[in-house]
Chain A
Amino acid sequence: MASHNAEIRGRSFGDRVLFGLVILLALAMAGPVLYVIALSLKDNKELMVDPHSVFHMPYTIKNYIDTIGTSNVFSWVLNSFIVAGGLTVLTLILSSLAGYGFARLNFPGRDVLFVIVLLGLAVPEQAVLIARHQIFSWLGLHNTYPGLILPGLSSAFGVFLMTQYFRAIPKELDEAALLDNASRFRVFWKVLLPLTVPAQATLGIFTFLGAWNDYFWPLISATKKEMFTLTVGIASTQQNFAQSQGIGFLMAQAVFAGAPILIIYLFFQKYIVTAVSGAAVR
């Protein structure tokens, strides 16, 4: 529906109905989140006595203070940050190098290897999980940062993206640099890599987001409490709902967990949306 058309015909009854529907959906969207935030601002005991008290005053930030004092949220956030950050940096490096290699250089078996890497895109996580788990047990990689980073590093997505991006750069730049006596690595490092910044941003965001929100693998690999990532940690608090430290406190933890990524989202909206849409289109 082009807005052009809407202007021609003016607001009709149908328009209002649609508008109403969208608003309803928006409320359904925001409602649960607002509810959670409201809960986090209520005293636990008050909630147990009367759940409806969430809708009115008094509100308190006691749960947040308690969280800062006693919760493990921060260690979880730190672990997630190390894993996601480490994976992102390594992915950018490895994918850029491999992308350049596949796009610009020739070596025996290059085309066959590229097809094999592409096929890797079709493999879902579950097909390799169990074997990975067993292998990592033998290598003693469980409950370590490398153990959480390495599986994600094998994803073919980054290589695919970077290869496509390198291919789009005119070959004359390479040739001019070679005539300027640059080694193949220098051509990569000084001439081509700086031109791939948009792709790096997209890949970086997508990788970071994927690692930050990953659940299954950390669940089975980071089994010790001190290695919990954020997703696993938050899930662990859900075990005994009512008996736990109280719903308000739980919700404050959830807010702490969700806030970083939501803030990043609000700031980097454009990049994130491009990254995720671009990634999905593969």
Chain B
Amino acid sequence: MADAANGNARRAKSVDIYAPQWRNFLFVAPYLFIFVAFLVFPLFWGIWLSFHKADTFSSGPFIGFGNYARLFRDGIFLQSIWNTFYFVFLTVPALALIGLFLALCLNRQTRSAAVLRTLFFSSSVLSVTIVTLIWRIVYIPDMGLLSMIYGFFGAKAPAFLSDPDIAMIGIAIATVWWCIGLPMMLFLSALQQIPQDIYEAAALDNANRWQTLRSITLPSIKRTFVLVVIIQIVFQFQLFGQALLMTKGGPNNLTRPIVLYIYNTAFQRWDLGMGAAASEILFLLILVAAMAQFLLTRRKADA
């Protein structure tokens, strides 16, 4: 209904400030460029590489599932998968349970509790290389801290890093020492969200400490427990630094996790294609493990 006298100049469309505009794309463009260039593209390029016999210079000839086949025929790779699962089995329950224990004990307002909480979290801010340095020193046979403590009781310390039976356990202990802070903190914040009046009601109902714990506290933090477990599974599956620096994957490949295998294959033997194939398998395993955990607890909740 524009005035005829005004002609067509005014016939512009009404302004919609929430309409899509290309101009707005400029805000996300810088990040998206980096995202596509250094995450999306490498993700697909890696899959591409896994189907080729590749080295640092080129992707080489196409060999289909050749790399994958070779992987599953490689005893060391299969061992590494087993090692990784074993390691996750060693560390995740320990981290969850010890973390929960500490959170329960330290969930109070006292000064000493605050100091202890700080102490238990402080190891988490160290890098893996410092942690391995510390624990290698501790584990040194005959000279390290562990030896000296055992020696004090007149015993000989287990040779954690060189004994094939317990090498992984040695790494697991160091890892639990390193990672205990986060589970403890997550449980603490979950505990603090439980309303105080539930405890008061339980006290009035004459519940003792163990009953309170079992029937009230633990059910309230179930969600967080699942979260902690999933996070730790995903994280510990990616074990690398501790294995590389403490045992180099030995003895007899018994402490070689998947990521170390990838490192050996891709960055020491420079067989990029096979390394890429191994990383795709790792990716899949992590996804499946996290999802399985998630669905399992979902199903339990419905039951």
**A residues touching B (Cβ–Cβ < 8 Å)?**
1-6, 8-9, 14, 18-19, 21-22, 25-26, 28-33, 35-36, 39, 51-52, 55, 94-95, 97-98, 100-102, 105-108, 110, 113, 116-117, 120, 122-135, 137, 150-151, 153-156, 159, 178, 184, 188, 209, 212-216, 220, 230-232, 234-235, 237-238, 241, 247, 250-251, 254, 257-258, 261-262, 264-266, 269, 272-273, 276-277, 280-281
Q: How far is the CA of A154 from the CA of B98 in the complex (A)?
A: 34
Task: Report how far A107 CA is from B8 CA in the complex, Å.
Answer: 28
| Contact partner, A213, options B45, B126, B136, Cβ 8 Å | B126
Task: Please state if B203 and A26 are interface contacts (CB–CB under 8 Å).
Answer: no
- C-alpha gap A184/B275 in the complex (Å): 46
Partner of A5, one of B34, B135, B212: B212
A122 touches B287 (CB 8 A): yes
24 A-B contact pairs sorted by A residue (CB < 8 Å): A1-B212, A2-B199, A22-B105, A28-B177, A31-B145, A51-B148, A97-B28, A101-B24, A106-B18, A107-B23, A123-B39, A127-B280, A127-B283, A129-B266, A131-B41, A132-B38, A150-B34, A154-B37, A215-B127, A230-B127, A234-B130, A257-B127, A261-B127, A262-B125
C-alpha spacing A272/B123, complex, angstroms: 13
Nearest chain A CB to B24's CB is how many angstroms away?
4
Additional A-B contact list (16), CB under 8 Å, known A26-B119, A30-B119, A127-B279: A1-B217, A51-B143, A106-B20, A107-B25, A120-B40, A130-B262, A133-B272, A154-B39, A184-B24, A213-B128, A214-B127, A231-B130, A235-B241, A238-B133, A241-B136, A276-B124
- Contact (Cβ within 8 A) A134 B272: yes
B39 near A130: Cβ-Cβ < 8 Å? no
CB-nearest residue of chain A to B210: A14
Q: CB-defined interface of B222-249 with A at 8 Å, one 1/0 digit per residue? A: 0000010001001000101100010000
Q: Is the CB of B134 within 8 A of A1?
A: no
Using a CB–CB cutoff of 8 Å, the interface residues on chain B facing chain A are: 17-28, 30-32, 34-35, 37-43, 45-46, 49, 54, 56-57, 98, 101-102, 104-110, 116, 118-130, 132-138, 140, 142-145, 148, 177, 180, 182, 185-186, 189, 196, 199-200, 203, 209, 212-213, 217, 227, 231, 234, 238, 240-241, 245, 259, 262-263, 266-267, 272, 275-276, 279-280, 282-283, 286-287
Shortest distance between the CB of A31 and any CB in chain B (Å): 7
List residues of chain A with CB within 8 A of the CB of B109.
Answer: 3
